[in-house]
């Protein structure tokens, strides 16, 4: 009996639907949880010893944790576009968040929620699922206010009187009547501006504790809305996308999440090597030192804020984990509980001083790798609490949901269904997955090795099994010459399937 047949046998006739619709309940519901900029700093992935994520950890115990999952591109717009239309950046032309490489959105009929809706699903979304324009792809959508607050990515502008301070060592602008009905002095961390230093926009490379109740946070409001939808009877199978903004910068979280962590002096810093850039080429060093998605390591170290920033990131992750806990508790108590697949993912990782880099937008593992957890419906007797170390890609989620939800096939998808790995996480696939960083720069990830090749021909080769933090570039090692040649060939084979042939 195939995986799909076994699945449908368990799912027939159950779900969070009205009685009149249960005869059509062969298709399960899907709770699709996205967490922005989340790296492996969650308990079950052991990326940081002080991470506090009991709810994501218990979610992993209910399903399969993919510890070798990689994005198609390590930046929000390109990664989410690839996931939600099932195609790599080299196929869509959406490589980044800016300029010409931002590309254009793929056609509406290619989008995953639209495909689900055409198959009879009610599609609901909240928060950050798409990088932008999410509402146009869902039946109903909830967005938080786009004013300055601890829950948005946008920062209020400097006034004429405040603007001269922006380029100084003591930037300061005041938000009157902000969250908690109080005035806020920004940036909370007091760091000078680096990105857009000559403009009016406030700093997003900021962090700190905010003494506001949870309901002032946008991610709380997103959770509240999603919980209400789980309480509502539905006449169709449900696809509910819940997109959390944290731990995207600014790294603001409620005081209780900071207080639960060790004091700043006891915070553990990422494992780094002072000479980590010495064996890299010019293009790689540019990616490492460019503050395009956050700020510079030099600035953080100069102002002795490294531990403060790490603590703030951990606090934001803890805050989001609490919201996920609320959402899971509501799901388990709802009529949807027995017939819902849960998929938790992030759009990419995030670096906090690794290779002297802050943010995403590099080809290294800490930027391309993220948590991916897939949990079967409670009614299904499937493998639970297992770990899969095979390389997988976020573009695999589209074909995976097609199989799990028995949807019509979709032509042109780049990924493969993960259903076999959900059924047997120990299955060996000998697969390699590609991540693209602007045109011409690619990383190839296998189970134990990674190859990075830049547009100028520079290469990096890493033995992940023995060097998970990618400190030692083996591309020029004669001992590893055979492995380099093998990975080069595999990259060429992978790209030949992705990049369209030129006339």
Give phi and psi for 286, each to the nearest 5: -65, -45
- Helices 397-404/76-85 angle, 10° precision: 30
Domain boundaries, the chain: 3-151+211-427, 155-203
| DSSP class per residue in 265-282 | GGPPPP---TTTTTTS-H
* Half-sphere exposure for 350 (CA within 13 Å, toward CB): 26
Q: Which of 456, 439, 450, 455 is nearest to 488 (CA)?
A: 450
Q: Residue 503 pLDDT > 80, yes or no?
A: no
**The pLDDT of residue 152:** 55
Q: Which of 119, 117, 66 is nearest to 375 (CA)?
A: 66
d(CA 473, CA 280): 7
In the predicted model, what is the mean pLDDT of residues 79-94? Answer: 97
Q: Residue 6 pLDDT > 90, yes or no?
A: no
pTM of the model: 0.94
Q: What is the per-residue pLDDT across 459-477, written as a single tens digit (0 to 9) for each? A: 999 999 999 999 999 999 9
Band of the pLDDT at 318, cuts 50, 70, 90? very high
β strands within 407-448, DSSP E: 433-436, 442-445
In CATH, 3-151+211-427 is 3.40.720.10? yes
Q: Kindly provide the b/e burial profile for residues 453-491, where b requires at least 16 CB atoms within 10 angstroms of the residue's own CB.
A: bbeeebbbbbbbeeebbbeebbbeeeebeebbeebbebb
Q: What is the per-residue pLDDT across 148-171, written as a single tens digit (0 to 9) for each? A: 455 455 567 899 999 999 888 999
d(CA 30, CA 115): 14
Rg from Cα positions in the chain: 22
Answer yes or no: are the C-beta atoms of 81 and 92 closer than 8 Å. yes
Q: Which residue has the higher pLDDT, 347 or 13?
A: 347
| Helices and strands counted in the chain (H then E) | 15, 20
% of the chain residues with pLDDT over 70 = 91
For residue 388, the cross-strand partners are: 66
């Amino acid at each position: 009996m195939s995986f799909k047949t076994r699945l449908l046998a368990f799912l027939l006739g159950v779900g969070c639907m009205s009685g009149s619709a249960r005869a059509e309940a062969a298709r399960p519901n899907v709770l699709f949880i996205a967490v922005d900029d989340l790296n492996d700093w969650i308990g079950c992935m052991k990326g940081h010893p002080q991470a506090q994520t009991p709810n994501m950890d218990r979610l992993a115990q209910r399903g399969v944790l993919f510890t070798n999952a990689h994005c198609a591109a390590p930046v929000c717009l390109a990664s989410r576009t690839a996931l939600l239309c099932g195609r790599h950046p080299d196929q869509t032309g959406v490589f980044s968040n800016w300029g010409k490489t931002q590309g254009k959105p793929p056609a509406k009929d290619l989008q995953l929620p639209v495909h689900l809706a055409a198959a009879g699903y009610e599609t609901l979304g909240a928060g950050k699922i798409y990088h932008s324009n999410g509402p146009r792809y869902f039946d109903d959508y909830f967005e938080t206010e786009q004013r300055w607050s601890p829950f948005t990515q946008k920062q209020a502008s400097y006034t004429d009187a405040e603007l001269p301070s922006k380029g100084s060592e003591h930037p300061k602008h005041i938000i009157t009547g902000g969250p908690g009905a109080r005035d806020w002095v920004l940036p909370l961390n007091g760091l000078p501006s680096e990105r857009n230093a000559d403009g009016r926009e406030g700093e997003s490379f900021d962090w700190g504790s905010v003494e506001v109740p949870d309901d002032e946070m946008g991610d709380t409001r997103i959770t509240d809305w999603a919980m209400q939808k789980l309480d509502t009877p539905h006449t169709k199978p449900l696809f509910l996308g819940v997109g959390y903004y944290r731990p995207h910068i600014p790294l603001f979280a409620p005081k209780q999440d900071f207080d639960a962590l060790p004091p700043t002096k006891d915070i553990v810093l990422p494992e780094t090597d002072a000479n980590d850039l010495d064996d890299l080429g010019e293009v790689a060093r540019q990616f490492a030192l460019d503050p395009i998605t956050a700020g510079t390591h030099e600035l953080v170290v100069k102002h002795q804020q490294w531990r403060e920033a790490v603590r703030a990131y951990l606090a934001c992750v803890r805050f989001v984990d609490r919201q996920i806990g609320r959402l899971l508790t509501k799901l388990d108590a709802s009529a949807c509980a027995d017939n819902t697949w849960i998929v938790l993912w992030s759009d990419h990782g995030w670096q906090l001083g690794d290779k002297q880099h802050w943010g995403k937008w590099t080809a290294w593992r800490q930027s391309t790798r993220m948590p991916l957890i897939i949990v079967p419906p409670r009614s299904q007797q499937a493998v639970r609490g297992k770990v899969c170390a095979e390389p997988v890609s976020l573009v695999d989620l589209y074909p995976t949901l097609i199989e799990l939800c028995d949807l019509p096939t979709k032509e042109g998808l780049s990924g493969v269904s993960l259903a076999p790995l959900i059924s047997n996480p120990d299955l060996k696939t000998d697969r390699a997955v590609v991540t693209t960083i602007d045109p011409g720069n690619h990383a190839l990830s296998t189970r134990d090795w990674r190859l990075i090749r830049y547009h100028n021909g520079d290469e990096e080769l890493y033995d992940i099994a023995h060097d998970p933090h990618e400190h030692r570039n083996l591309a020029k090692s004669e001992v590893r010459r055979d492995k380099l040649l093998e990975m080069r060939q595999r990259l060429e084979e992978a790209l030949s399937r992705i990049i369209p042939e030129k006339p």
